[in-house]
Structure 1
Amino acid sequence: MFALRDDDLERSILGCGDGTASFNAEVTAQGGKVLSVDPIYQFSADDIQQRIRRVYPGMLSQFARQADQYVWRHFRDPGHLGSVRMSAMNRFLEDYPSGLQAGRYVEASLPELPCFDGEYDLALCSHLLFLYSDHIDLQAHVEAVLELCRVAREVRIYPLVSVDGRVSQHLPAVVRELGERGYDVGMERVDYQFQKGANDMLWVRSTAAPEENTDD
């Protein structure tokens, strides 16, 4: 969904709203550097596992009821989707205690991230901004994206549609605001698509030249 290449995985990465995804665990195992931030990281592994067990059956039922809203290309059916997601969540749970101790999982949320300016090469945000446009207003979207731009040299956001499958009403204004602030902004078609209409990601890059390394 983020069109990541091998060289992207060698960069320092911030994952915003990562939840129970296995991305941090998998990239770390390959020697990469990832910080994941999410409010859910205030809870223990046991608490998160219990929550997964509670919501998992309902999640499968919802996908089955709304199957016509999705593209069944990467997943055969709701059962296959559930199996893949449960595998990813189990991988996360295996990694979570050690990752929490190492500081790779941090309780935080937009629009305030506990990171230095330009600390990360790449910030990724999936299934949060734009998707919930009915609950997150335009100003909150602008503040969130600007915060991501503050801490990372490049930002990628996916998807750009709301839960109804329509392009978010906030997208044009967010793109315009970023352009007026001097950022390079664009959209890229990605190979991943599950929700119908969700086949583009937004990328934002700083136009500022990198500082030269001057050692005393």
Structure 2
Amino acid sequence: MNKKELYAQSGVAMTCRSFKEYEEMFELDVASLAKKSILDIAAGASSFTSELNQRGCNAIAADPLYRLSTEEIYILGEEEMRIASQKLSKNENLFVWDYYQDLENHEQIRKKSLFQFIASYKNDNSKTMYVPANLPRLPFEKDVFSSVFCNHFLFLYEAQFDYTFHLKAMKELIRVTQRDGSIYIYPLVGFNDEVYSHLKELIQEVEKNGASVEMIETAFRFLPSATHFLKITK
């Protein structure tokens, strides 16, 4: 029987994560990303893409939220942060606070990321940096991106998206990734803090299609069992 969810979630929440969080989650060598073509999928209002482009990368974020106006996303982001803090405050002892230190700092990181995202988003009138799109079908040609990132979407929402969705999504991420490029996914657990139940099966299917898969330990912690990320090399 599955454990009770540590964080109750209906629908998909907007994420507002910082560049530093990506760096920690995926054990990134930031210098290695320079001048590369990068996709952040299900990116929400994270500041990763904005900062990557400031560092000279060719980075694109994709999310269905990008069909909304700047004002709509800002209002939604503020509301999401309020709700998240409220939920976390009820179960603070169930999470690992080594990175965030406390709930107040967690919220401040979210707000700073949202503000940086909004400043970038409102200037992207042509929707070339922030592309409205959602898995399992993306509006990109094949073999486009050297690095693809997806955090706090795939696997986390196992209760809402079945294995078929996850398999189609994985194949789509592989399709848009360049030969020898890599896909990074974190966490590998759901809101119940248990590893995605079909992970072994999914990895086998990915490897059958010629990609290699590694589970790599990360020092980043929040959900106690979210100790690894997935790196898929095409």
1:76-114 C-alpha deviation (Å, 9 max, x unpaired): 111110011111111101110223436100000111111
Backbone CA RMSD of aligned residues: 1.2
Residue 39 (structure 1) aligns with: 64
Matches of 1:199 and 1:124, distance apart in 2: 17
Point out the structure with max Rg over C-alpha. 1
1:3 pairs with 2:27: yes
- Following superposition, the deviation at residue 58 of structure 1 comes to 1.7
Q: Number of paired residues?
A: 206
Q: Does 1:84 align with 2:109?
A: yes
Q: In structure 2, the residue corresponding to 1:98 is in which secondary structure?
A: coil
**1:183-213, CA deviations, whole angstroms, 9 ceiling, x for partnerless residues?**
111110112111111121111111xxxxxxx
Question: What secondary structure does 1:110 align onto?
Answer: coil
**TM-score if structure 1 supplies the norm length?**
0.92
Gaps of 5+ in 2: 1-24
Q: Please give the per-residue CA displacement for 1:153-205, whole angstroms capped at 9, x wherever unaligned.
A: 31111100011111010211110111122211111011211111112111111
The TM-score normalised by the length of structure 2 is 0.85
Match among 189, 198, 202 for residue 226 of structure 2: 198
Cα distance per residue 1:32-51 (max 9 Å; x no partner):
11110000000011011111
In terms of mean alpha carbon deviation, does 51-60 or 104-113 score higher?
A: 51-60
| Cross-structure match for 1:172 | 200
Structure 2 equivalent of residue 67 of structure 1: 92
* Unpaired stretches in structure 1, ≥5 consecutive residues: 207-216
CA–CA distance in structure 2, aligned partners of residues 144 and 100 of structure 1: 28
Aligned letter for 2:229? M
Instruction: Report the 3-state secondary structure (helix = DSSP H, G, I; strand = E; otherwise coil) of the residue aligned with 1:99.
Output: coil
Q: In the alignment, is the contact (CA less than 8 A) between 1:124 and 1:156 conserved in 2?
A: yes
CA distance in 1, matches of 2:77, 2:157: 21
2:184 to 145, 152, 156: 156
Aligned to 1:94: 119
1:105 is matched with which residue? Answer: 130
C-alpha spacing 1:20/1:199, structure 2 compared with 1 (3 Å) = same
Spell out, residue by residue over 1:123-181, the C-alpha distance to the aligned partner (whole angstroms, 9 max, x if none): 11111111111111111101001100000131111100011111010211110111122
Shift of 1:8: 2.6
Q: Percent identity?
A: 28
Query: 2:38, 2:193 → 1: CA distance?
Result: 28
Which residue of the partner structure matches residue 23 of structure 1? 48
